[in-house]
Amino acid sequence: MTEITLFPQPGQIEVKSGRFTINRHTRIFAADSAIGELLAEYLRPATGFGLPVHPLNDDILADARNAILLAPGADGADEGYRLEVEPGRALLSASGPAGLLHGLQTIRQLLPQQILSSDVVEDLEWTLPAVSISDKPAFGWRGLHLDVGRHMFPLAFIKKFIDMLAFYKFNIFHWHLTEDQGWRIEIKNYPRLTEVGGQRAETALPGNPHQYDGLPHGGFYTQAEAREVVAYAAERGITVVPEIELPGHAVAALAAYPELGCLGEGYQVRRNWGIADDIFCAGKDGVFTFLKAVLSEVLELFPSTYIHIGGDEAPKVRWEACPACQARIQAEGLADEHELQSWFIRHIEAWLNERGRNLLGWDEILEGGLAPKATVMSWRGSEGGIAAANAGHDVVMTPNTYCYLDYYQSEGTDSEPPAISAILPLKQVWQYEVIPKQIAADKRHHILGGQGNIWTEYMPNSDHVEYMTFPRAIAIADVLWHHPDERDYDALVARLERHLPALDIMGVNYRPLSD
């Protein structure tokens, strides 16, 4: 029997006898021509076949041979699909485009791994094993986060990163665009955000926050590039969720527009890491005028329902000493600076809700009282997510104990590239439970799903990002799609050993399997 290795593992798979061979005479029939063309695009580089895409109708669906058929299906499961491969044809069906797009990735993984090459592979038979697959995801939010504030990455890599998300059936790209160390998205009403906030003089060396490399670092994505990323991701079934940090992690913005801070002067784009005391002033009305203008442009670029506002790691020391912030506390009848942050978040949430968007923030937004409709991204372990879900709020579970891919991958840190000092081996990632047992049964529907997070303080280039991401992100993808009750780590490693050569073919710099 043919050995099938798929990531993420499908819900049901039956391996049958026989194979279907794709050749230069194979045709693609698709109800959705764009998805048909994407499949042809996937197959063309390695095969050299320019397979034609034709409209699909009932007669063709019944009788076509030597064909790949992409058809509407009766299965109403969100993002679910069915794949039937038999000698002479392959039929992929789904109730919507997301399911078809996921099914395309299954077809790619069922073909010889050389299909992933960007160059023509000579004298290879492109065969699919005869299978019957019925598949759907366990969770609706399956994300991967990338921080481009600490280090900027080229547009080509952002697209490659999205391609890898699609390959493993993630459906959310969480794009962390602003930080103390760099503002990375063009805002036309505030050009200094990128002219000043997008540049830092130098960067702290790994392991020594008081020594620097002496090299300027900067850059940003234009609005045209952001739209290009959004469209590229959407074509592959992925939603881009932007993150604009507030009220903390805002020093780059304050360097560009110092009047937005409590002190009003003396800011520079940060050269080192950690948490800054300087945050947006909650007492100045002009801060909210600024943030709403920025977010108005962000909403034009990103059609996602969710807008991430950060909300994490915002020290209150400046607010405690700021007359304007203290006046705001008095005027709004707030108890303290924690309630002031909650008021700040609620103010932004109301503005987003009026425009049909939902606010998403790190679990610090729970402090001082959670905004009414806010969704919590639980990162400091699972406790914040447990509390939020049990209180009736939606949650994305992304605990650093399982999902922070900037952590070292083994105890042998001397032989690894620089990373955050915590250790998160693949085996621990594989134990990730998305729905903690402490969440009441009638509240578990509030767990939307989860994601892996990649923070790039110590990742100055894309090769380093890939090394830290893979194969750990593959394990996260498997958990979020399949969420197996039993976790056989040895079986996971055996599957990865068979699968990882595919990453070599795609030019991905993954970490080899080892302790």
Contact predicate 466/154, CB 8 Å: no
Can you give the pLDDT at residue 362? 96
Q: How many helices (H) and strands (E) does the chain have?
A: 18, 23
Can you give the pLDDT at residue 281? 98
Distance of CA 360 to the CA centre of its chain: 14
Contact predicate 10/138, CB 8 Å: no
Residues 6 or more apart whose CB falls under 8 angstroms from that of 423 comprise: 407, 408, 409, 410, 411, 413
Cβ atoms within 10 Å, residue 305: 12
For the residues 464-478, what does the mean pLDDT come to?
98
Cα radius of gyration rounded to whole Å, the chain: 24
Cβ atoms within 10 Å, residue 55: 10
Residues 6 or more apart whose CB falls under 8 angstroms from that of 355 comprise: 299
Reported confidence tier of residue 214, pLDDT bands at 50, 70, 90: very high
Distance of CA 380 to the CA centre of its chain: 18
Query: pLDDT tens-digit profile of 250-298?
Result: 999 999 999 999 999 999 999 999 999 999 999 999 999 999 999 999 9
Can you give the pLDDT at residue 2? 61
DSSP code at position 511? P
Question: Of 311, 191, 339, 315, whose CA–CA distance to 262 is shortest?
Answer: 315
Residues 6 or more apart whose CB falls under 8 angstroms from that of 1 comprise: 15
Q: Is the pLDDT of residue 311 over 90?
A: yes
Buried b (16+ CB within 10 A) or exposed e, 450-486: bbbbbbbbbbbebebbbbbbbbbbbbbbbbbbbbeee
CA triple 346-348-350, angle to 5 deg: 65
Consecutive H or E run containing 297: helix 285-301
pTM for the model: 0.97
Residue 28 φ then ψ, to 5° = -110, 125
**Domain 141-489 of CATH type 3.20.20.80:** yes
Distance between CA atoms of residues 169 and 164, nearest Å = 9
Query: pLDDT tens-digit profile of 93-117?
Result: 999 999 999 999 999 999 999 999 9
Contact predicate 341/367, CB 8 Å: yes
For the residues 215-240, what does the mean pLDDT come to?
98
Contact predicate 91/71, CB 8 Å: yes
Q: Is the pLDDT of residue 503 over 80?
A: yes
Query: pLDDT tens-digit profile of 344-375?
Result: 999 999 999 999 999 999 998 888 777 778 99
Domain topology for 12-135: Chitobiase; domain 2 (3.30.379)
For the residues 128-137, what does the mean pLDDT come to?
97
Domain boundaries of the chain, sorted by first residue: 12-135, 141-489
User: Tokens standing for 440?
Assistant: 């009441």
HSE-CB for 143 with a 13 A CA cutoff: 27
Reported confidence tier of residue 448, pLDDT bands at 50, 70, 90: very high
Can you give the pLDDT at residue 3? 81
Reported confidence tier of residue 75, pLDDT bands at 50, 70, 90: low
Contact predicate 71/61, CB 8 Å: yes
As a whole number of Å, the end-to-end CA separation of the chain is 32
Distance between CA atoms of residues 347 and 339, nearest Å = 12
Long-range CB pairs of 411-416, under 8 A, 24+ apart, other chains included: 411/515, 412/515
Q: Do the bridges between strand 81-86 and strand 126-135 make them parallel or antiparallel, or are there none, so unpaired? A: antiparallel
Can you give the pLDDT at residue 416? 95
Distance between CA atoms of residues 395 and 363, nearest Å = 9
Residues 6 or more apart whose CB falls under 8 angstroms from that of 507 comprise: 118
Can you give the pLDDT at residue 98? 96
Question: Of 140, 7, 137, 147, whose CA–CA distance to 453 is shortest?
Answer: 147
